[in-house]
Structure 1
Amino acid sequence: MRIVKAVKEGKWRLVKALQRLLSHSVSGRLLAVRRVTENRGKKTPGVDGIVWDTPEKKMNAVQRLLQRRYRAAPLRRIYIPKKNGKKRPLGIPTLFDRAQQALCKLGLEPVAECTGDTNSYGFRPERSAHDAAEQVFNALRLKSSAQWILEGDIKACFDEISHNWMLKNIPTQKRTLRKWLKAGYMEKNVFHDTEKGTPQGGIASPLLANMCLDGLEACVVNNITEKRQHKVNVVRYADDFIITGDSKEWLEQVAKPRVIRFLVERGLRLSEEKTHITHVTKGFDFLGWNIRKYPNGKLLIKPSESSIKTLAEKTGE
């Protein structure tokens, strides 16, 4: 609460001091180790092969988190399959690096929650994809609602985010953040440098990516008059988002160029093959749902064909 209050009052020096106080506290370090050793990846080691599977190892980790000379270890790279048949790279940090990230996240997340976009729903406390779908429903359910949708997808978001932008704009300990970003990764016993991106697999990575994309709503809509005139709504879940508008031309000629400029500053770009402008009566897919308004004015949200296919494959039907 003290960090939240300081952010709202614009006292950024106090925010920094409170973050440091939290990262050095016993309760903060205990909570960081607890979160690392209770999540699904608790038995997945990093490049050092170490897991914290005893109370003694966990308490030793709590003490080690006080060390001043912190150095991040390279990530262990693995690949997991994607829906399109390709593979997504994951960077697995050591448990100690994960605990450092969890500790940093304790002080950074309150800042992100105060400054984040109103309609951002991915990887945030007490928010979910269902909340994002509900917001889309509210934005489109009326006869007078917007009729056109820009479906946006950011190409390789986690892999392409600019390190320079993050180091300049993320309000956290710059030295520690730089060490995470520049840690590199090991693949087949070969070390590789990392010059951009925040690895999928790190505890703090979703938060960092969210903070990089916060501001998208304000970028798309300059003022409340424009928002009402063009029936603009921006709903984002991580790197997937939709923008509503009163016309295809406004979305194509105004909204999309603004999004492109916003992303370029952060080293990112739109995925052209996944970014479309669609009329609401044609329907569109978002977060595993198909959303469509029918001629009688009813807006229906139902599982998308790809979601049904994935479920059928999992159940063997």
Structure 2
Amino acid sequence: MFYVAYQRIYAKEGNMTKGSDGQTIDNMSLKRIEKLIDMLKDETYQPQPSKRVYIPKKNGKKRPLGVPTFNDKLIQEVVRMVLEAIYEGSFEYTSHGFRPNRSCHTALTHIQKEFNGAKWFVEGDIKGFFDNINHDVLINILLERIADERFIRLIRKFMKAGYIEDPIEAAILH
């Protein structure tokens, strides 16, 4: 599973950005992956804070984005794969966000096919949505289907890892 996760990360050009530890995926090795697996098994793995960067939005403002270390990115991809296997079959066919083979483009195609009479469209952005998710509520939802407490503890660790703000970029934005 870790090898598949590595391949998925390596295949995406955007994943070549240096993480908060300054390393890229080029430093990943089988030995390093095996060490990560051992640390996960004995629960000594501790996710690192993500590096906060800002990407431009259409309206000229900037959206905060967390860039994790590559160790964290690899483990997050494995967690995503596990969660996808558990939950993918439960989502509505009309849900397109963060799903395999779906995107804003498939959502627009769906809207064009299903909503022939619509004369207008509302676009929205919930400010700070991901920064304001209630962690306890999310964990309780996960516990409804996931009995593996170690897996849940790992997810909690990631949610508490936080981020490192670039002081120069933060000063420019504020």
Coarse TM-score class (shorter-chain normalised)? 0.7 to 0.9
Unmatched 5+ stretches in structure 1: 1-27, 190-317
Identity between Structure 1 and Structure 2 (%): 34
Question: CA–CA distance in 1 between the matches of 2:74 and 2:8?
Answer: 8
Larger radius of gyration: 1
TM-score with structure 1 length normalisation? 0.45
Relative contact order higher in (CA < 8 Å, ≥ 6 apart): 2
Deviations 1:225-268 (A, max 9, x none): xxxxxxxxxxxxxxxxxxxxxxxxxxxxxxxxxxxxxxxxxxxx
Question: One-letter code of the match for 1:165?
Answer: V
8 Å contact from structure 1 (residues 33, 62) kept in 2: no
Structure 1 residue runs of 4 or more that deviate by more than 6 Å after TM superposition: none
> How is 1:228-307 mapped onto 2 (pairs within 5 angstroms)?
none
Answer whether contact 2:24 2:70 (CA < 8 A) is retained. Answer: yes
> Secondary structure of 1:71's partner?
coil
- 1:61 equivalenced with 2:32 (yes/no): yes
Contact 1:33 1:58 in 2 (8 A): no
- How far did residue 149 of structure 1 move? 6.6
Closer, same or farther: CA 178–121 of 1 in aligned 2, 3 Å: same
Q: Which residue of 1 aligns with 2:171?
A: none
Alpha-carbon spacing, 1:39–1:58, altered in 2? closer, same or farther (3 Å):
farther
**DSSP 3-state at the match of 1:99:** helix
1:131 is displaced (CA, Å) by 2.6
Rate the CA distance shift 1:140–1:126 in 2: closer, same or farther, 3 A: same
Q: Post-superposition shift, 1:151?
A: 3.1
Provide the residue aligned with 1:167 in structure 2.
139
- Output the amino acid matched with 1:62: I
8 Å CA contact 1:121–1:131 kept in 2: the answer is yes
1:117/1:94 Cα in 2 relative to 1: closer, same or farther (>3 Å)? Answer: same
More helix by share: 2
1:51 to 2:29 alignment: no
**Does structure 2 conserve the Cα–Cα contact (< 8 Å) formed by 1:163 and 1:181?**
yes
Cα gap change, 1:82/1:130 in structure 2, threshold over 3 Å: closer, same or farther?
closer
State how 1:1-317 maps to structure 2 within 5 Å.
Answer: 28-53=1-26, 57-66=28-37, 67=39, 68=42, 69-141=44-116, 151=122, 153-156=124-127, 157-170=129-142, 171=145, 173-188=151-166
Q: Is the 8 A contact 2:56 2:63 kept in 1?
A: yes
Structure 2 letter corresponding to 1:46: G
The AA in structure 1 aligned to 2:134 is S
Q: How many aligned positions are there?
A: 156
Partners of 1:188 and 1:140 in 2: CA distance: 44
Taking a change above 3 Å as real, the CA distance of residues 37 and 137 of structure 1, as seen in their structure-2 partners, is closer
Q: Which runs of 5+ in 2 are unaligned?
A: 168-174
Give the 3 Å change call, closer, same or farther, for CA 186–100 of structure 1 in structure 2: same
Asked whether the 8 Å contact 2:50–2:69 carries over to 1, the reply is yes
Residue 105 of structure 1 deviates from its aligned partner by 1.4
**2:53–2:166 Cα contact (<8 Å) kept:** no
Q: Structure 1 residues 188 and 150, CA, compared in 2 at 3 Å: closer, same or farther?
A: closer
Q: Is the 8 A contact 1:36 1:95 kept in 2?
A: no
The question of whether the paired residues in 2 share the 8 Å contact of 1:29 and 1:65 is answered with: no
More strand by share: 1
- On the 8 A contact 2:5/2:78 being kept in 1, the answer is yes
